[in-house]
Amino acid sequence: MTTTATLGSKPLNILLVDDDDGDAKAVQRAFQKARIANPIIRAVDGMEALDMLKGANGKAKPPTPFMLLVDLNMPRMNGIQLVKTLREDNDLRKSIVFMLTTSKREEDKVAAYDLNVAGYIVKETAGQDFLKLVGLVDCYWRIVEMP
In this prediction, residue 119 carries a pLDDT of 86
- pLDDT above 90 covers what percent of the chain? 40
Domain 6-143 - what CATH class? alpha beta
Tell whether the model's pLDDT for residue 46 goes beyond 80: yes
Alpha carbon 114 to its chain's center: 17
Look at strands 119-122 and 96-101 and give their pairing: parallel
Section 75-83 average pLDDT: 95
Section 13-28 average pLDDT: 89
Tell whether the model's pLDDT for residue 113 goes beyond 70: yes
Tell whether the model's pLDDT for residue 120 goes beyond 80: yes
- Concatenating the DSSP letter of every residue in 66-95 gives EEEEEESS-SSS-HHHHHHHHHT-TTTTT-
Tell whether the model's pLDDT for residue 48 goes beyond 90: yes
Residue type, 49: A
In this prediction, residue 32 carries a pLDDT of 82
In this prediction, residue 74 carries a pLDDT of 93
In this prediction, residue 88 carries a pLDDT of 95
- pLDDT above 70 covers what percent of the chain? 78
In this prediction, residue 82 carries a pLDDT of 97
Helices marked H in the chain — which ranges? 21-33, 46-54, 79-87, 106-114, 128-143
In this prediction, residue 57 carries a pLDDT of 81
